[in-house]
Chains A and B, each alone.
Chain A
Amino acid sequence: MKKEKLVVIGNGMAGARLVEELLARGGAAHFDIVMFGDEPYGNYNRILLSGVLAGTHDPRDIFINPLSWYQEKGVTLHAGVRVERIDGRQKLVHGAGGITEHYDKLVIATGSSAFVPPLVGLKNESGQYKEGVFVFRTLDDCTAITQHAAKAKKAVVIGGGLLGLEAARGLLELGLEVHVVHLKGHLMELQLDAKGGAILQRTLEGMGLHVHLKKNSRELLGHERVNGLLFDDGSSLACDLVVISAGIRPNVELAREAGIHVERGIVVGDDLRAPNEQDIYALGECAQHRGRVYGLVAPLWEQAQVLAERLSGRNPQALYTGSQVSTKLKVMGIELAVMGAQEVTGEQDEEVTYMDATQGIYKKLIIRDQRLVGAILLGDTSSAPNLLSAFGRGTQVPESRSELLFPSMGEASTPSVLQLPDTAQVCNCNGVSKQNILEAVSKGHRTLKKLCDATRAGTGCGSCKKDVQALLENAVGDNSVEDPSAHYYVPGVPLAKAELVAEIKARGLRSVSAVFEALADGREDVASKTGLASLLKTLWGKDYEDERDARFINDRVHANIQRDATFSVIPRIFGGVTSPAQLRQIADVAERHNVKMVKITGGQRIDLLGIPKEKLPEVWRELGMPSGHGYAKSFRTCKTCVGSEFCRYGLGDSTALGIAIEKRFQGLESPHKMKLATAGCPRNCSEATTKDVGAVAIGGDRWEIYVGGAAGSRVRKGDILCVVDSHEDVLKLMGRFMQYYREHGKYLERTHDFVERVGIDKLRRLLVEDEEKLAARLDADIQAAVDAFVDPWEEAMRPHHPSQFTHTLPMESEASGSVARPVTAEA
């Protein structure tokens, strides 16, 4: 049978989801699929754009399907090509740039655009939006807003609905003064009643947002760029950034011009087909079904499933009968759940409310005939699962209304996800029900990751992951299979660290490529290279066969790459103790090379920033100091306080100890960086208790050794490994711990995670009490690693490769004498 051609216009959440659902039903056997997307990307999760703006999500993390996905699946995607015309008679779709495709079946999924009210002064003379004026709908909008925000101070968001507030949150996070201007009497009037709106407003104002209600914007001020907003009442507001978020308009022009019946949206029946067209369908925000145009994702998931059932022939009779809209949202981080009616509609309705303005909590239920017909939960949505299921299934609600509002008060406390009915929705971002998850478990997806990948639950905002985990654990009980790959040392070699080490030793694998060859079927995996290099160096020391391409650039040139592709140079200053001569030397070098910035680091060193790659050897030579390893996954530095020699509180010589530590362990490779410190007394001026390894003097020559502390993205106080009574023993125990961490830490596992994983008790038994008689061997191995140390900056004299420090090679080749000139030119 010849395949039919399916053309999908719109590569947004609905269009791409339809194609996925279709492929999952074997649709590739029936159709050649062609997609047009106005945006030049694969498909991304639009819901998470607010996170991108707020900086909580990286743009690359919101992608559902990157461009390579389309290639893999054999779907032709015209990315960045806007469809200009549909010719229903000839069954052709005409895209920009003369791209034309014939279709047998056509699906329109063009979504909607931001509605922009007719403001005076919106555009500049060349017909563009004034500089600083944006809408908020696409990734490009997001990028443009972020870029402009970097040089702006005061932002106004026109529109106090969900999207407007999300935009406002992002701008607040970017550090701007933010004003929201709203036409209506309260915020989010589509979801909230007046009381709810007022409470939300109070909470938001507490977060620093300025809210202006009942304000009709009239004019954007400024010439080329916006500098203020003028209202109908004559008042005005100065600003240098404006986001217009006054609602959305379905994208229906294409359909309308093609003669397809359009009202507010493209009218479709329960079969999602345009009634007078044999082969044209529509879904998503551009479609109007039974009089409704939806503005949320949940309904379009259902539409995509129904249409995929029909088109794939799995169930040609499948019908879409509309969606019940209930939503759990986060508005600027405040939880909100709304479902059904917002206000009572007559005598028969009962209203139950609870309000705690100082806590920002508002709850309202509307009950009719003992059934829940509507609810608003703001600030505390703990009872939402309960209510959603009562609302969804239309069951009778308990007599005690407070039980409904406060689940923990009644007998029936919040049902955990386990108690919910199978139809209950667990993942709201992707519309995944409890049943979907249980089915996937029974099909063998028995690890959290596989389960999430298979159902997509947890892949949106991620807040339902713990529920998915609970369902998994409950369903498989003790048979839960742990994801073996979670234990691999590196992703590309299917072995946990201990087994990997055993294989490497048994087979004598001394280079990264030898490991790929022997243990990964010869498949080189980019994400595994640096981890293997670090492990091999630790295992073989000077017998390691060094392949430079397995190193991250920092470790190839022994400096830390900066955002402009220059490098930072941090010479070692042992224990943070320097001298006038050394300072003078550094100053001279910095001056001679016009160093862009000279900075004192948090680790008591001096950083020279902005050195071009070519200049690195010269700078090192002139400094005449060893590398401070401010770039490597290795021992970094040991910060010290003044200690007993000068400080009037000092109980121990923390500077001398710190210098000894740094001299001994400098440059020691490890699974992740190690930052150390010594403090001369428990006042802890050098913050030794929150370092990877730290020593604190407690008097009488005694030192507490702390391990697993952290004060980075996570803050953790280290655990006391032991108390020792000499500098020598501090060095010994620290070394023993470091060697054990080098051997057993996962790649990129900081000591704080490592110590928690292994447990401090076990570490004490192994390293201090020496229960398994490891200590002598660990001590010997760390000594060998210390002995093998070579200052990498010596490569200033003996480069590893002639172009090790070359950034840009000219075309001219000295090596061969042949010239980089055009050798042929063909027309």
Chain B
Amino acid sequence: MQYEQAQSMSVVYNLGLATRVPLGEGRTFTVGERTVAVFRTRSGALLATQAECPHQRGPLADGLLGGNVLVCPLHGYKFDIKTGLAVGHACGSLKTYTVELSDREEILLRVEDS
């Protein structure tokens, strides 16, 4: 379960053109101190989660994405990419980020707190 923090800062980062991420795949970005996996679905929507799998730190950007489901490449654990919730296992949920496409087709990533 996640709880909204009452007071939080949010910062928006521009990660460059969306085409840096191939269609249907994900790539890891370093954003300040943290790493974030950004995905671009075949329909062009952007999604973002924490970069490492809570199971054994598998690189989620290298995973398979289909529908709402993200599959970690190391042991196949599944996550709902929109909510971050674990699907059928106990390794906890993913932190998800709000990410949008700018007018100039750039990736805008919103990060809570500073």
Chain A positions within 8 Å of B, measured between CB atoms, are 40-42, 44, 59-60, 63, 66-68, 71, 77-81, 139, 492, 513, 523-530, 547-550, 552-553, 556, 561, 563, 565, 801-804, 806-816, 818-827
Contact = CB atoms under 8 A, between A and B. Distances in A.
Nearest to A140: B90
A616 to B, nearest CB: 13
A59 B65 contact: no
Contacts of B27: 803, 806, 808-809
A811 B17 contact: no
B16 A807 contact: no
A71 B67 contact: no
Nearest to B40: A549
Given A67-B85, A68-B85, A78-B1, A818 B24 contact: no
Interface of B: 1, 7, 9-17, 19-25, 27-31, 35, 42, 56-59, 61-67, 69-71, 73-74, 77-78, 80, 83, 85-93, 104, 106, 108, 114
B16 A818 contact: yes
Given A492-B66, A821-B14, 8 more contacts: A63-B89, A66-B90, A81-B1, A526-B78, A528-B66, A552-B64, A565-B57, A806-B27
Contacts of A826: 9-10
Contacts of B31: 811, 820
A97 to B, nearest CB: 8
6 contacts: A59-B90, A66-B85, A513-B42, A803-B21, A811-B30, A813-B15
A802 B71 CA distance: 23
A814 B20 CA distance: 10
A549 B16 CA distance: 21
Given A813-B14, A820-B14, A563 B56 contact: yes
A63 B90 contact: yes
B9 A67 contact: no
A548 B24 contact: yes
Contacts of B80: 68
Contacts of A802: 20
Contacts, number: 173
B20 A59 contact: no
Contacts of A823: 12-14, 108
Given A561-B73, A801-B22, A825 B1 contact: no
A808 B38 CA distance: 11
B28 A809 contact: yes
B63 A815 contact: no
Contacts of A41: 90, 92
A558 to B, nearest CB: 13
B20 to A, nearest CB: 6
A194 to B, nearest CB: 40
Contact of A809 (B29, B42, B64): B29
A529 B73 CA distance: 14
A66 B80 CA distance: 11
B106 A66 contact: no
Given A819-B14, A824-B12, A565 B86 contact: no
Nearest to B73: A553
A60 B11 contact: no
Contacts of A67: 85-86, 93
Given A67-B86, A565-B59, A813 B67 contact: no
Contacts of B78: 526
Contact of B74 (A44, A66, A561): A561
A825 B91 CA distance: 32
Contacts of A492: 66
A825 B67 contact: no
Contact of A60 (B29, B62, B89): B89
Contact of A808 (B11, B25, B28, B66): B28
A284 to B, nearest CB: 20
Contact of A816 (B1, B16, B58): B16
Most interface-central of A80, A816, A824 (chain B CB within 10 A): A816
Nearest to A525: B66
Contacts of B77: 60
Nearest to A565: B59
Contact of B42 (A81, A524, A801, A815): A524
